Structure formats: structure tokens, C-alpha cells
Chain A
Amino acid sequence: MRRLNEDLAHRLAAEYVLGTLRGRARARFEALARSDPAVDSIRRRWEEALSPLAERVAGVEPPARVWTRIEERIGAAAPRGAWSSVSFWRSFGLLAGGVASVLLMAFLLTQGTPRGGPEFVAVLVSPTNEARMTIAMQRDGMHIHNVRGWKSVQDAGRALELWAVPKEGTPRSLGLLANTGGDFRVRIAADDARLRDVMAFALSSEPAGGSPTKAPTGPVLCTGMVGTARKV
């Protein structure tokens, strides 16, 4: 597909968001925005620019049957690819590098020991890209450094639950963690079944005693992709 010059991209994006771009032109622009990140970003900026208009509309209560139909239609289906989707992880800035990579490097340098470094490591960052926890899989168990406790969790009388997120399937609980800063060692071996194909770790806020559903139910506080520690 040919690239648009920026002025034309702006014109099309503006009329797309406004709604005056219709029919096949609309479909073509959608396809273009999907394939060209520069065009997509212009579209997004127009959406942001015009969206305050939508906020001014006075609300109208829809009938209750709408929600009933939505529930029927989503049935028992989980959202597609939630835990394994790239965009989900990107929401935590995991693929962005930045602060987390710098921390990861620093962390690896301090963890490296003469008798062989950790099997794998992860730096867990919050949705605001703040590094909150590091995990290193050593021969004698999982070493966790928690930067500090979570006030929201403490105030609400809730618990911290750590999850191993496999490449496919749902997260597996690794148990509850103390909500304080510091170093911990968890007796989980590198060949633990829960760590098979682990892609990332996540920490969620759960009711006291842990998730009642064997899957994360509360807000995810921080997450980190697993990085291999070798050759560093």
C-alpha cells in the first residue's frame, strides 16, 4: 500500500474520526491505519482531539436488556489472548525497555556469582513503569527482592499473590508474598511444573488468603517478562 503524505493522512484521519469519511473510503483508511503506524498515530491524535465533544452529550440510560444480551453473547468466553497478547504486556511497558532494562542490567551485575548466575530473572514493573520487584531463579530457590510494600493492598486488608504466566494458558499461582520491602527466598525449584514455559511473572492484589478462583481477580500491580541471565 502506498504511503500517504502527512497532510493527506491528516485530512483523511480527521474526516474518518468526524465520520464524514464513509463507505469504501472509510474501509480503505481503516486498513491503511492498521498497516501504517504513522497513519494510525495521526488517527489516534484526531480521536483525542475531538473526543471532548462526545463527553458533552447528556447520558441516556439504555434498557437493561442490552446488558443481558451482552452477557449472553460473551458467554463463557475469556477475552481473546489476554494474558499472552503482546499488547497486554506492552501496557505495562514491558516491551518498551527503558527503566526496566537498565534495572535488569544493574540487577544482573549484582546477582552474578562465580558459581554460575541465576537460571532466569525478571524485573516486575508497575503500569506506570516503576520497577517494583525482581525475581531471580537460583539453584537454591527463587530469590525475590521486593522494593517496598504496597500501601493500597495493606490498607484494604488484602494479600499479594505471585503468578507465573505461561506462554499458553492461564496464570499459575506461586503463592502469597509478605507485603513488605526486602529480600525473600521462596522454595520453588527451577524445574517446578508451575514454571514450565513461563513467559512472565505478575503480582496481583487478592482477597486475604489469596484468589478464590485460582486465577488473578484483583488489580495486577506489576508484571515482568522473563529474561535469561546467561551471557551477560
Chain B
Amino acid sequence: MSADDAHARLADLLSRTAMGDRKAFSELYGATRAKLFAVSLRIVRERPLAEEALQDSFVSIWHHASDYARAKGAPATWMAAIVRNRSLDLVRRARETPDIDDALASQLVDETAAPPREAEARADAHILERCLGELDPEQRQSIALAFYHGLTHSELAAHLRRPLGTVKTHVRRGLLKLRDCIQRARGIA
């Protein structure tokens, strides 16, 4: 299935969910649960919490499916944002001290190198790929750690053994560079 087909299928399932179609909602869950569970798991790092995040997110998706239209973007983006937000909320509650697994950090390097899978056909993914490649390694690593593992500035500083101010600057400059690069490529601003 191409990215466009997948997009159209999820958009259709969401519009039927908005009308109270339980079968469509169940299909929507089936089509997205594994990826969304993985996204949450990386942020909250404990299965019970990730299960809670996924549950809360889908209850919210059921009630607010009709808002998807307002989001205008890809359905997968809209749903991933809901799951990420819920996961970040839960992790703030649950995690007092950062506990970073170095295996996860090394995995991250693979992720940055791996070609995107489902996103392959999408120009956006290629643009992001290229633009991430233009960042300094420390900027790229900070951004990836924050995105995938939900690390805060202080957690990043502790993990990378760098001063807090330096890490904040890496994140800020990295994002700025990313924006300029994406903007050049397709006009984010």
C-alpha cells in the first residue's frame, strides 16, 4: 500500500469513526496500534504506562474523531500527536529521575541511518531525512533523543554529560536549522 493509499484509508476510517461506526474504529485501531504503542513505549519506557497512554489516546480519538478534519494533515500525524502528548503527560507524572538505557541510545543511531519504511513514498520524509543530515551530530542526537524518548532538557544534559545551557542551545539551534532547511525545501513557514 502506498503512503497515499494508507493516508486515504485512515482518513476514511476516521470519518466513519466520527459518525459512530464502531467497526471502522476497530479497524483504525488494528491499523495503527503497533506503531503507536511503540511510539508511546519509547517515551514512557514501561509497558503498563504505554498501555494506559494507548488506551487514553484511543478513547480520545473516538470522542474527537470529528476534530480530525480541523487538523487538515495526515491522519497518522494527528493520531501520533495525540499518543505522544498523552505519553509525555504520563511520563511527567511517573518519572522522577531519568533512566536512560544505553541500548536505546545506540538503537537511535540505527534509526537515523535506516531508510524510512512506510514513509518511503513521501517527499516529507525525504526532506526531513536530508535536513536532519545537515545538522551537527550533537544537535541531531539531542533532537532524536528528545523526540523518541521524551527526554527533557535536563535529562538530555545528564545523559549527554553536557551543561544544561549547551544542550538547550543544541536543541534550539538544531530546530531552527531544521526549520530553515525544510522551509527551503517545501515552505514550512
Partner-B contacts on A (CB < 8 A): 6, 10-11, 14-15, 17-20, 22-23, 26, 42, 44-63, 65-67, 69-70, 73-74, 77-83, 85, 87-88, 90-91, 127, 215-220
Closest to B14 in A: A91
B123 CB to nearest chain A CB (Å): 10
Contact B92–A18 (Cβ < 8 Å): no
CA of A227 to CA of B134, assembled, Å: 53
In the assembled complex, the CB of B45 is this many whole angstroms from the nearest CB of chain A, namely 12
- Cross-chain contact of B117 among A56, A67, A69, A127 (Cβ < 8 A): A56
Given A70-B58, A79-B65, is A52 in contact with B92 using a C-beta cutoff of 8 Å?
no
- Whether a CB of chain A sits under 8 angstroms from the CB of B160 is no
Q: Which residue of B lies closest to A68 (CB)?
A: B55
Partner of A11, one of B33, B70, B172: B172
Asked if A23 contacts B92 (CB within 8 A), the reply is yes
Q: A88-B18, A215-B20 are in contact. Are A63 and B51 (CB under 8 A)?
A: yes
Shortest beta-carbon distance from A26 to chain B in Å: 8
Interface string of B122-150 (1 = CB under 8 A from A): 10110011000000000000011011101
User: How many whole Å from A24's CB to the nearest CB in chain B?
Assistant: 11
Main secondary structure of the interface of B (DSSP, over half): helix
Q: How far in angstroms is the closest Cβ of chain A from B92?
A: 6
Q: Within 8 Å of chain A (Cβ to Cβ): is B90?
A: no
A-B contact pairs, 20 of them (CB 8 A): A10-B189, A14-B176, A15-B175, A19-B147, A26-B88, A42-B189, A51-B74, A51-B81, A51-B124, A52-B128, A54-B147, A55-B117, A56-B116, A57-B35, A78-B20, A82-B66, A87-B66, A216-B19, A219-B15, A220-B19
On B, residues with C-beta under 8 Å from A are 11-12, 15-21, 23, 25-26, 29, 33-35, 37-39, 41-43, 50-51, 54-55, 58-59, 62-74, 76-78, 80-81, 84, 88, 92, 111, 114, 116-119, 122, 124-125, 128-129, 143-144, 146-148, 150-153, 156, 171-172, 175-176, 178-179, 182, 188-189
Assess whether A88 is in contact with B66, with CB atoms less than 8 Å apart.
yes
Residues of B within 8 A of A60 (CB): 34, 37-38, 41
**Residues of B close to A91: CB separation below 8 A:** 15, 18, 66, 68-69
Q: Bound complex: CA of A216 vs CA of B18, how far in Å?
A: 11
**Residues on A with beta carbons closer than 8 Å to the beta carbon of B175:** 11, 14-15, 18
A49 vs B46: C-alpha distance when bound (angstroms): 27
- CB < 8 Å neighbour of A22 from B26, B42, B88: B88
Q: Given A19, A23, A56, which contacts B114 in the complex, CB threshold below 8 Å?
A: A56
A49 touches B182 (CB 8 A): yes
In the assembled complex, the Cα of A42 lies from the Cα of B71 at a distance in Å of 12
- In angstroms, Cα B164 to Cα A186, docked, is 71
Contact A59 B37 (CB under 8 A): yes
User: Taking CB as reference atom, which chain B residue is nearest A69?
Assistant: B55
A226, chain B: closest CB distance, angstroms:
19
Asked, given contacts A57-B42, A62-B37, A82-B65, whether A51 binds B80 with beta carbons under 8 Å apart, the answer is yes
Residue of A nearest to B65 (CB): A79
A219, B54: Cβ atoms under 8 Å? no
User: B68: shortest Cβ distance to chain A, in Å?
Assistant: 7
Most interface-central of A10, A17, A57, A85 (chain B CB within 10 A): A57
In the complex, are the beta carbons of A20 and B153 less than 8 A apart?
yes
Q: Which residues does chain B contribute within 8 Å of A42, judged by CB atoms? A: 189
Alpha-carbon gap, A163 to B81, bound state (A) = 33
**Nearest opposing residue in chain A for B20, CB measure:** A78
A55 close to B119 (CB less than 8 A): yes
When chains A and B are docked, how far (Å) is the Cα of A220 from the Cα of B63? 19
Q: Is the CB of B15 within 8 A of A56?
A: no
